[in-house]
Amino acid sequence: MKRMFGFLIGVVVGGLVGSTIALLLAPESGEVLRAQIRERGQGFFNEIRHAADERKIELRQRLDAMRAPRTEA
């Protein structure tokens, strides 16, 4: 548990440091950069939502197939 907590702290600190450096070295103005980040974030979340919906449908179909009565041959 202690190793996992240390790993998560490292990931968070690394993400903060990386994002700070990226913002400081960005070639665009702050307003343009924020708009681009917002747009990419929305696209990313839309892709995740779409993939989750597809997986949900697939799992529901599998569950329905498992619940269906078996026919003996």
Six-digit token pair at 5?
A: 């907590």
Summarize pLDDT for 26-71 with one digit per residue, the tens. Answer: 777 778 878 888 999 899 999 999 999 999 999 999 999 999 888 7
C-alpha–C-alpha distance, residues 36 and 30, integer Å: 10
pTM of the model: 0.49
Answer whether residue 2 shows pLDDT above 90. Answer: no
More confident call, 21 vs 50:
50
Report yes or no: 36 and 28 within 8 Å, Cβ to Cβ: yes
SS3 of residue 69 by DSSP: coil
Distance, C-alpha 43 to centroid of its chain: 11
Question: Could you tell me the two tokens for 43?
Answer: 């696209």
* Nearest partner of 37 among 45, 2, 64, judged by Cα: 45
